[in-house]
């Protein structure tokens, strides 16, 4: 029996694992019980496990009986600081913490993949590295530290998937080239001179200065960048002032910049500083920009993406394997794909009848659990057809 055909017999366990993890979420960099659960599961299968890789990360190693490439699969396992508002038996038992992005599903899918592979090493050409990654949700993330700690040692290719509630269940999206953007953040402090609201001539109003800055910053994308390049400059917070009749002394702003190309990112940084210099001259205030580079863009390798898309289209439970448009969202899986070829695809889990179409990071986020079999089947199909990768390398 092929590896793919064995998945449905493990579907109940796949769902059970996902629900257990959903009930016991842990925040980024605090995933102590989750990493123990994963390690125990893999070790009980007889899989060699390397623990505390780059933090709370784990690596599992499966050796096939035949020569071939080494393929890594990556799944993240941290949760979010969100109160679970679903009315389901597997609702989070941790107040204020829930798996609102599908990382529980990613982990469950990779664990079942590992189980089937470990039971069928006689049919595997090459080796498999299981990358169970901590802390995807919070900078600096877990991917870079795991890469730095040797997670990709001897790895030839890497693949992973993200559940997507906005994609119908049993449909799989593939995006060759840039799929996610570099996700940066910034903070700006504008120091003015406070005063009475009735005597603005005696003050230097940082709120007015900040407002002018925000408006001017909206011209960066529209008037500085090449119209054919994608980017976003978004302000998320504006804090300052304490009373309706008092001119504030200081204002703080924060936001995010999303780009695909390093040159575009540099243009935005330069323009932010240039506009702030003008604000200082115009309003007599002092401005300070703190810019934090976030995750790199996720750039899928074209040949591997098209290859996996073709494999997915041949799986009976996959209704459609389609070209998915790039997003300006962020994901630290890009660190791995900077070093080895591979692809990160999107597993549809949306089902209106199951209330699983809420957006990611929503308090009622859920997914069509039956559709998780597709992630496992695609992973196994990659391994079954890994000789194609070796030939094309």
Binding residues, by number, are 101, 103, 137, 162, 361
Contacts of 205 (CB under 8 A, 6+ apart): 192, 247, 248, 283
Of these residues, 26, 31, 76, 78, which one is catalytic? Answer: 78
Total Cβ atoms within 10 A of residue 123: 15
Whether residue 136 lies in the annotated active site:
yes
Q: Is 87 exposed, middle or buried (0-12, 13-18, 19+ CB in 10 A)?
A: exposed
Strand partners for 300: 177
Residue 197's SS3 state is coil
Q: How far apart are CA 258 and CA 110, in angstroms?
A: 29
Q: How far apart are CA 358 and CA 362, in angstroms?
A: 6
Q: How many CA atoms lie within 13 A of 170 on its CB side?
A: 8
Contacts of 188 (CB under 8 A, 6+ apart): 210, 213, 252, 253, 254, 276, 287, 288, 289, 290
**CA 162 from centre of chain:** 8
Binding residues for Mn(2+): 101, 103, 137, 162, 361
Whether residue 104 lies in the annotated active site:
no
Answer positive or negative: Cα dihedral of 351, 352, 355, 359.
positive
Q: Is 387 exposed, middle or buried (0-12, 13-18, 19+ CB in 10 A)?
A: middle
Q: How far apart are CA 58 and CA 39, in angstroms?
A: 7
Cα dist from 389 to 73, 74, 123, 254, 339, whole Å: 15, 18, 16, 44, 16
End-to-end CA gap in the chain: 28
Of these residues, 136, 156, 331, 366, which one is catalytic? Answer: 136
State the chain's maximal CA–CA distance in angstroms.
83
Total residues belonging to the chain = 393
Cα dist from 44 to 40, 124, 294, whole Å: 6, 20, 37
The two beta strands, 250-259 and 177-180, are: unpaired
Catalytic residue list: 78, 136
């Amino acid at each position: 029996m092929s590896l793919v055909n064995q998945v449905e017999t493990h579907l109940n366990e796949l769902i059970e694992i996902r629900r257990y993890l959903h009930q016991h979420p842990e925040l980024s960099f605090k995933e102590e019980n989750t990493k123990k659960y994963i390690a125990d599961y893999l070790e009980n299968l007889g899989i060699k496990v390397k623990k505390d890789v780059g933090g709370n990360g784990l690596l599992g190693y499966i050796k096939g009986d035949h020569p071939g490439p080494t393929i890594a699969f990556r799944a993240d396992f941290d949760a979010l600081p969100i109160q679970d508002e679903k009315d389901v038996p597997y609702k989070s038992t941790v107040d204020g913490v829930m798996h609102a992005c599908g990382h529980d599903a990613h982990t469950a899918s990779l664990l079942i993949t590992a189980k089937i592979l470990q039971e069928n090493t006689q049919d595997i050409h090459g080796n498999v590295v299981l990358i169970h990654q901590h802390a995807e949700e919070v900078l600096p993330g877990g991917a870079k530290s795991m890469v730095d700690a040797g997670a990709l040692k001897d790895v030839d290719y890497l693949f992973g998937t993200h559940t997507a509630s906005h994609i119908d269940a049993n449909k799989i999206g593939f995006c060759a080239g840039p799929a996610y953007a570099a996700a940066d953040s910034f903070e700006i402090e504008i120091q003015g001179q406070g005063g009475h609201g009735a005597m603005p001539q005696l003050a230097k109003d940082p709120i007015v200065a900040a407002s002018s800055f925000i408006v001017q910053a909206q011209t960066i994308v529209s008037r500085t960048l090449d119209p054919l390049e994608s980017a976003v400059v978004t302000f998320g917070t504006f804090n300052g002032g304490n009373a309706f009749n008092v001119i504030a002394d200081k204002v703080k702003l924060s936001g995010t910049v999303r780009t695909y190309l390093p040159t575009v990112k540099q243009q935005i940084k330069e323009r932010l500083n240039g506009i702030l210099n003008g604000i200082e001259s115009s309003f007599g205030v002092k401005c300070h920009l703190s810019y934090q580079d976030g995750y790199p863009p996720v750039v899928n390798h074209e040949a591997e993406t098209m290859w996996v898309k073709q494999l997915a289209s041949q799986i009976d439970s996959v209704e459609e394997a389609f070209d998915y448009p790039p997003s300006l969202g962020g994901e630290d899986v890009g660190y791995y794909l900077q070093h080895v070829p591979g692809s990160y695809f999107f597993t549809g889990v949306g089902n209106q009848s199951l209330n699983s179409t809420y957006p990611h990071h929503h308090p009622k986020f859920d997914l069509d659990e039956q559709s998780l079999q597709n992630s496992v089947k695609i992973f196994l199909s990659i391994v079954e057809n890994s000789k194609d990768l070796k030939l094309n390398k």
